[in-house]
Structure 1
């Protein structure tokens, strides 16, 4: 096996290459081999082919353990036009297969050869930066499916340039027919397509696969193939400590690495290759059979990025292998899902206010959720990937630059602008009685209020509220109470947002307690926007109970100021609060202390801080009487009284009859006793 083995075996291979008869290159150059600038110079590979032209050899470099080193040696030599590479041997040539096509044949060496030749592609150094070669060519093959575009090209070099410069999609491969001039561009290649039928043997068609794309290199899985390793690899590294370190070398290589082996050809030896079983179908015996050896082939990788926005997070997934399945929120697989069909890139939007996605809030400006990349449409398998996602917002400090005097009052005023660091406001929403008293329980119809308050007393911010919604807590129903302009949508449910204490640092939204039919939990979510120095009310056109339209003011619009352009625009804040509200019929049954606890207010984490210290509240409102309930109770009472009276009369009558019978029997007994005595006396 030719690698870092014995020098004698490598010398025999070199001598054998030199003794092979070559064919003189033609004097006329092909249209492919035109004069090329260094910016447009790159290389094309052909695996399993060898160039045999002993008289054209420029240099022979033994102990070359990396294909990129061999290519760079040819690049730096202006006379070099092509090369042969085996593990441990690099041979440079003056001419190439364009000028001497007869000299290029299938490799017959025990260790198959990789042939590379210099080509000229427009903008190659810019579009394929830091890559030693741009394409690998496989003659008589094509990507028969997954063709995105078909174009006409005069030469195969022109077809390569069409793929390299494609803007509408990421071109990974191209197939060129010399007979028809048809150039078929595809966003798939041999590694991204799982079906072997997509890559077919087709005469007179050349297949080109790019090395210029950036594959995902995170969350990668490798499949172990026991008992064999590749005969020729792209790079050999020595003194690599662990298999994990070898894998990292593969994932971070300057080429698209698809397999590696570790420790099979020597202690701490790591070998990398851009090939795997899916790209070696046209090579005869590419593997060396060794029972105790193991080749690790790359199967799937997932690069996941998160775009954290003011009201949502967007998770974007990029994979190296064609994916059909779904991406969904782990806790909401049906309501928060993206279905994917044969894609390499896909995304899922998770709104912070979207109960269908149920994004959790962990603390100060931190949001958390879990998503699953599932391959099968219905079931979870071992191939699936679960991801934990977090977005953290640094809302504690803002750097503001303005003409406002934020210094102490005794300081002499200055016309110069001042820059200072102003802490961002911490906003709390709480549910309380109408006048602000704490509540512990609430019933439908109780007069309540939502309070929005900046916790820092010296904060320069004011606030306004918009997009206030109420939900039932179990994803079934929701209602918009305050619209995006800050106006109430239905005054019968909630009135306008008012300012307390003459400042918009504390706002109140009055409402009468309500609940949804299928849940006793009502959850409120609102967007709170800080503004400087004050927030101007919005004028709302609402309809009152009698159907008349009138104008009201609500704290729902920022005042536009001349210094707005110079002032940092604060982020919107999401605040959340929930409460359990009982209906009238449950109030009597829930009078026990144990059940009263279930009607207490529940606090959830707000955007900026935990609201664990928010006090619980109770309502002093008198209970409402239900007329129908009173009537039913009265009727039941009367029926019970009638039954009792009837029972008592029946018992009394029975007792009276029994007493009369006993009196009659006693009288008869006395009568017979007296008669018997008289008769006896007379006889005597």
Structure 2
């Protein structure tokens, strides 16, 4: 039986290889898989290694694999600028061996006829992600991945920009091609980043690349978010001696792929330019790395925002392109009625701010030429309750001078250097009964987190330890709240069903021989009034097993969720049973135990900046204290100035000490020499001893005083 399965895999590989090999050269393209790669046990061969000072090798790797008929796919390692190729296709059950790796991109050959497209790859696939809502067209039956992508390419009724693919566990066996439900959409994650989130690995997100050619014509993207002291780790092309403007022009005009952003790094008096086909919205802030002499610029959708200035008010108006039910408020004043406005669909949202009072964080700054700036920082929050990665920070203001009112404009300044802190609460079930633990871990490293950033991909884990099979668990009434419970949002209702898939998905149960796990992948979010997010959940125990329920959605589980347990061996994974947590028809017995669990973490904005704040009296705010995180905030230039001043004081003190010691030593030597000569002259009756006043008698007996 095992031999038959092996021969079947070989036969499938031969069929897929033949399809690609027989493809006309003009129709041979690539699909890019992000964050996932085949296991190294498949022994890939070296395709290309970067030369000296070469960083971006994507195009060279693609060209080499394209010209090599035996190359079915290859993996690009961004951290080492090398790529390795595979001779056989990796499909079906073989995908269970694939490994999560955020430092790679996996390029697979496909045979698609795509006219008028010069891109080096046609689709991007993001495993474990989905675009919530925006289901423009739901296809009636199940399709393979290739069939789903072809439907998107051939769609005539609308411009298909992306597709969602949900694998159906009951549609394929160990010897069959993977199939699933295909949903087409006329938007993508770049147009509505707030709808793009992490999901289970039975969900996959496809994005068509060639449809991005009309972005600029549609006016979708017109600006760049700036990240100071940071670069993106995934570099596709690098250029030498290019400044910021030249690099931006290269990003705007490149035809080989859709440039999502660029980095500029100062080096030895010159600038290096890096172009990126990815951005921080795919894998969150983890793709950004700190670089003291670098700046990263990311393409961002345009905002229809206008500002009107009068002598007493500044009015900010936002005209959404799509349905907007979020909030628009001044940073730090989200709860004051005069400082925020709520969205109501596609209608214009207007925020009227008083310039005469000190409310809503409006700061007044007076320039030497008698011009006055009245401005502040505004946040555009797409969700009415919590901040997510797709939210925008906008600087708004008015400049007054010479009896005229001038719009200061809007701009976005973002840095990503989160401060880490110790865990606040990590509650574990204790005492008699089962041992249950709730924790939040990084989705890729599986390390517990206590401090994170908005948009980082996380995993909530509820674990029943030392399971002997006598009990089962499920969880409901999951609430996220601030530290003082002034704001809260219900993530899972009493039945364990999600209330908002855009924020938090349903729990998935994983059963092993020793533990039972409830897991859910989500992106970090926070409340506008506090960086502290407290999770509270009720865990309920059932004898033997808990009956499933239907939450009103098709949420079939998939064996591909086993990829999330990368720390376990493949043999252990094969022995794992996976089901979905469903519980609406559960009969609540009073004898069943319930246990509350809590977990607290700090979620920071990825767009906090360290710019100076100029007060109305001309003073500069250089320091402050954060009572929540117990941190002292200090202006960087002041910090450097204090260090230099301290060093100068120490140098001056040392120099003064040296001068004083030398002068004292010289004085001491002089005094010692004088005393020595005086004693010597006294002993010999000359010198200083003969100069004493005395009476002299001459021969004529006359007496003179000398």
- Fold conserved between structures, TM > 0.5: no
In the superposition, the TM-score normalised over structure 2's length comes to 0.37
Higher RCO (C-alpha 8 Å, min separation 6): 2
Larger Rg: 1
TM-score by length of 1: 0.39
